[in-house]
Amino acid sequence: MRIRALGWPLAGAVALVLAVAGLVSLPWSASAADPAIQDTARGGGLGQAQFTGGWSRCAGTCAKASDNSYVWTDVTGAAATVRFTGRQIAVYGVRDPAAFIATATIDGGPAADVDEYAPAASAAAERVWTSPVLADGAHTLVLRLTNRKHPASAGGKVFTFDRADIVSNPAGPGPSATRAPAGAAAPAPGLGAGPGRASGLPWSDGGYFLHDPAQADAFAAWRGRPVDNILAFTSRATFTALLNPWWADSVPASFSAVRDDFIVAVPLWSDDGSAGTDAEWAELAAEIAAVDADAYVRLGWEMNCCTSLATDPAVWRAQFTRAATLLKTAAPGLRIVFNPNEGTSEPGLVKDASTLFVPGLVDVVAIDAYDWHPSYDRDAAAHFTKQYGWDWWYTFARSKGLPFALGEFGVMNGYDDPAFFTEVYSWLRAKPPGTIAFVTLFNEPADYCRCSVYPPGANPAAAARYREIIAAG
């Protein structure tokens, strides 16, 4: 993890304020006999706190803390891990107007957004987050800084940890038990937890927007529906470059890790041939989870065409198995996507990409599909019914008990083909509910593939058809 030197003093600190839509907190009441885990109780054992990714001790404002000590970080992906025994935990920090958003997970479960923002810095450490009531026993809390912030945040990108209080025996339904409102629907297994999709569509529907959150917002306004997912790509030249999490800034302020999906394409090898160390893969997992704890990872995507090329199936499967295992070990909520290109493999590559599938490590089967020759206005059926076409891969996904997705799709090279979107969305609508995980439009302008529909540019007719379909829902 890259830790940057700070040239400014910490003018306050941060609150870890739970901001999960629709969740309700009840009053907290801890006994004086219940233990507290201070930031100074360092270690990886029960009753201790472990800080990774770049943390500093307070300076000048330490009197705000209960024991004249708290720690802070401004490093995306930095984590505070607290291992405790009990039924509930409350975190104490210092509220600040320059804070970013963190996530909180317990025992690798669902991540909750932790909005650190407050309009004014608090005079003393306060209780800023409380867990639900848990089964009595040993648990692990992980707080991790993301690259997102409250719209009103001044943007200091910090959060603090003073201490955590443990409750061993909460009464009744549990003090500060976080619960969903009555009538809330259970999340669909395998397709992400949380509230309904912002777009109102049956699947997560979004796209690639040049790693520009402003373009994502403008695209959503243009099409008349919010986007549910944001696609990003890591760098590839070296593993050092791959580990630079600049792509975390792709998500707009409206992005909710509880509701929306972050999708990131990750090569199995960097362009210089490096397979990455175990520690580097773990670091990458932490960086992705800092944006979205259950993000989709398109691992070794387009292996039959364009990246992470599969020339030796045994070597490719071994690296996929290693990378997926390391990612899921470090961040258990991440979802691995097996993502070939539509159609047959390029010459010299493994002919049947399905032989690269590794059971037990894949959560979604996806394809990348563009308006390639023959175009969809001339022979759409060929794309859907041919070997390794849409129907073939959809059937393959369902045979594995997995949902299907479109990792990338769009018109191509300025061939302004509205029939492409007509055929694609007709095909999607015909599928049973819950079998399509996500749909991700590749909205790239003329300087690369001339794939964009917004701004319409070279594809005004296709753009109009896409917008009409999305508006109709």
pLDDT tens digits, one per residue of 255-309: 999 899 999 999 999 999 999 999 999 999 999 999 999 999 999 999 999 999 9
Residue 184 has pLDDT above 80, yes or no: no
Among 142, 167, 192, the domain boundary falls at 167
- Which domain, by its residues, includes 146? 17-167
Among 84-88, 149-153, 208-212, 251-255, the range scoring the smallest mean pLDDT is 149-153
Banded model confidence at residue 35, pLDDT cuts 50, 70, 90: confident
CATH number at residue 241: 3.20.20.80
Q: Are 321 and 441 in a shared domain? A: yes
Identify whether 409 is part of a domain.
Answer: yes
pTM of the model: 0.63
Give the max Cα distance, the chain. Answer: 75
Identify whether 424 is part of a domain.
Answer: yes
- pLDDT at res. 185: 30
DSSP-derived pairing of the beta strands 163-167 and 335-338? unpaired
> For residue 425, which amino acid is it?
Y
Report residue 319 CA to chain centroid gap: 22
Identify whether 193 is part of a domain.
Answer: no
Strand ranges (DSSP E) for 60-111?
71-73, 79-86, 88-93, 101-106
Which helix (H) or strand (E) is 102 found in, with range? strand 101-106
DSSP-derived pairing of the beta strands 204-208 and 436-442? parallel
Q: Are 139 and 248 in a shared domain? A: no
Identify whether 182 is part of a domain.
Answer: no
Higher pLDDT, 447 or 190: 447
Identify whether 345 is part of a domain.
Answer: yes
Identify whether 427 is part of a domain.
Answer: yes
Q: Are 428 and 285 in a shared domain? A: yes
Identify whether 176 is part of a domain.
Answer: no
Banded model confidence at residue 446, pLDDT cuts 50, 70, 90: low
Total structural domains within the chain: 2
CATH number at residue 104: 2.60.120.260
**pLDDT cut 90: percent of the chain above it:** 56
Question: Which tokens is 441 given?
Answer: 């439009």
Q: Are 156 and 269 in a shared domain? A: no
